Structure 1
Amino acid sequence: MSSLPPIPPAAGSTDPQSTAGAAGPTFSPLYVQIKSLLMQGLESGEWKPGEMIPSEVELAQRFKVSQGTVRKAVDELASEHLLIRRQGKGTFVATHSESKVQFRFLRLHPDAGEPTHPDHFVLDCKRLRAPADIARQLDLKVGETAVVIRRSLHFGGEPTILEEIWLPGPLFKGLTMDRLADYRGPMYALFEQEFAVRMIRCEERLKAVAADEAAAQVLAVPAGTPLLQVERLSFSYNERPVELRKGWYRTDKHHYLNALI
């Protein structure tokens, strides 16, 4: 097991590194410090997606804090969908392979009935120099490559979503059209399993647009049909941008559901 750095000796104590150059001391509750250390373990791969983390008792002994302090830190990570509690089994690192995690990022729901998993059809996958606006959002250097994927998602056999996905080239070496075509699971699970890139949060912008000729052809609608455009920037640990996804959604039989909690 890899070793995480020690925590400060007491709750509410001043972290010398965090106060360097600051006007005054910065205080961090003890559970927040424990949460930060657990995040470091997740980021470093000490506990991989799908694996069980040590019990609260073991973590309390390891960090020399109370079990209640550990529980509060774990509760926050669970509320942020980074950990999953399983009654009678323990606490596990969340993985994109789980159905309820998949629907966290797929927000299109049918107007009637329960949400279902779509069929995916990869239309194109290319590696090219990132355009300036894409490079800026993905924090790429000038001249660095990006992978761009176009695919359609079908619900009940009907094309419903067209997506254009931009990924940082250096993080996704070896991602090809053939690999995507052979994979049958969720795309985020592929990124997690084969490229060690986990999406943990995203920012979205929604806008009503009219279907252009290219989108209309893929989605089997007349040009000019109203569509919902969703632009999503996804982040991994340490607020690192790792995906820019643009989607065009048919909403004649579906709606976009967002629960505010």
Structure 2
Amino acid sequence: MSSSSAKAAREALAAMDPRLPLHARLREALTERLRGGEWPPTEPLPAEAELAQDYGVSLGTMRRVLTDLVDEGLLERRQGNGTYLRRMQAQNSLFRFFRHYRQGDQVPASRILARETEPAPADVANALGERTGARTLRLHRVRLYDGEPFLVEDIWLPLPTFERLRDVDLDQIGDLLYPVYEQLCGQIVGSADEELWVELADGRIAELLGCSSGEPVVVVERVARTHSGTPVEVRRSRGLASTFRYRVEIH
């Protein structure tokens, strides 16, 4: 870190609420920089000793704060490779809920059936922090195991943030979308909220899932956000209720 950056780091720490303990002020100051995108997930943070020196704190205090941020899920440590801003590992989320008899550990295949620019419905716009009718890119896709659909997804992305996804060849979009968001649009998903409910399959969903119209399906709605808290995706995934399993550990 340059001398000017080190000076800025100490000034930011000094600006924190003096009633808080030093480690709490340091955590808040460092979190602001992390959420502001100063270090991309592809590059490690400076070494603990360097950060401690720049902030004018002990190595033990810096190490404690970094450990707290790892425990909170903002950072991750990679053995022998440093400490990084954590990417959210969202691909496993839905598969805590939906089970397929051929699933195993494989990532399901994806097929995008439609890609359209459309006004955001009121509930989607609200979740994205946009006005009703704001332009979005909607992806309609199915997730498959061995060619057999088991999830149907509708995904809304705000424009112009995701403009580059409008025209990219669909063959360049793999089975996982978050790496594409990062590579093409510079949007890194750091967290998400999910909500579940049950509804009856309409004709469109029933045809894609190979079930009868009116059969119960579980809807998982995800609102994904960047590390700074900006919502960048609304996703609704629908799967047959007969394949849905809910499991939670209570201690």
TM score, norm. by length of structure 1:
0.80
Q: Does the Cα contact within 8 Å between 1:107 and 1:258 map onto a contact in 2?
A: no
Q: Secondary structure at the match of 1:110?
A: coil
Aligned equivalent of 1:23: none
Choose which of 38, 50, 65 in structure 2 pairs with 1:73. Answer: 65
Partner of 1:18: none
Taking the TM superposition and a 5 Å limit, the aligned residue runs for 1:1-261 are 3=5, 5=9, 6-9=11-14, 14=17, 27-95=19-87, 102-104=91-93, 107-108=96-97, 110=99, 114-141=104-131, 143-176=133-166, 178-253=168-243, 255-256=245-246
Cα distance between partner residues in 2 of 1:209 and 1:164:
15
Using the TM superposition, give the Cα deviation of residue 165 of structure 1 relative to its aligned residue in structure 2, in angstroms. Answer: 0.8
Q: CA RMSD in A?
A: 2.9
Is the Cα–Cα contact under 8 Å of residues 122 and 181 in structure 1 kept in the other structure? no
Q: Secondary structure at the match of 2:164?
A: coil
The 8 Å contact of residues 110 and 254 in structure 1, kept in 2 or not, is answered as yes
Instruction: Please give the alpha-carbon distance, in whole angstroms, between the structure 2 residues aligned to 1:87 and 1:147.
Output: 38
Q: Percent identity?
A: 31
Residue-pair matches, total: 245
1:248 Cα shift? 0.4
CA contact (8 A) 2:110 2:175 kept: no
Report the CA distance shift for 1:54/1:47 in structure 2 as closer, same or farther (over 3 A).
Answer: same
Distance 1:129 1:254, change over 3 A: closer
Q: Could you tell me how far apart the structure 2 residues matched to 1:104 and 1:71 are?
A: 30
Q: Is the 8 A contact 1:160 1:219 kept in 2?
A: yes
Query: Cα deviation per residue 1:63-116 (whole Å; 9 max; x = unaligned)?
Result: 1112222223222322333322123332123336xxx56325654453667432
Unpaired runs of at least 5, structure 1: 16-26
The alpha-carbon distance between structure 1 residues 236 and 95, as it changes in their structure 2 partners (threshold 3 A), is closer
User: Counterparts of 2:80 and 2:86 in 1: how far apart (Å)?
Assistant: 17
Counterpart-to-counterpart distance in 2, 1:259 and 1:187? 29
Q: CA deviation at 1:176?
A: 1.9
Deviations 1:10-65 (A, max 9, x none): 9xx736xxxxxxxxxxx433333333333343344432123211121111111111
In the TM superposition, what is the alpha-carbon distance from 1:171 to its structure 2 partner?
Answer: 1.3
Residues 109 and 132 of structure 1: CA distance in aligned 2, closer, same or farther (over 3 Å): closer
What amino acid maps onto 1:110 in structure 2? Answer: R
Gaps of 5+ in 2: none
Alpha carbons of structure 1 residues 37 and 9: separation in structure 2 relative to 1, 3 Å: closer
Q: Tell me by how many angstroms 1:214 deviates.
A: 0.7
TM-score by length of 2: 0.83
Cα separation, 2, equivalents of 1:260 and 1:94: 26
C-alpha spacing 1:7/1:30, structure 2 compared with 1 (3 Å):
farther
CA distance in 1, matches of 2:141, 2:41: 26
8 Å contact 2:13–2:55 — kept in the other structure?
no
Q: CA deviation at 1:154?
A: 0.8
Question: How far did 1:143 drift?
Answer: 4.8
The 1:195/1:107 distance shift into structure 2, 3 A limit, reads farther
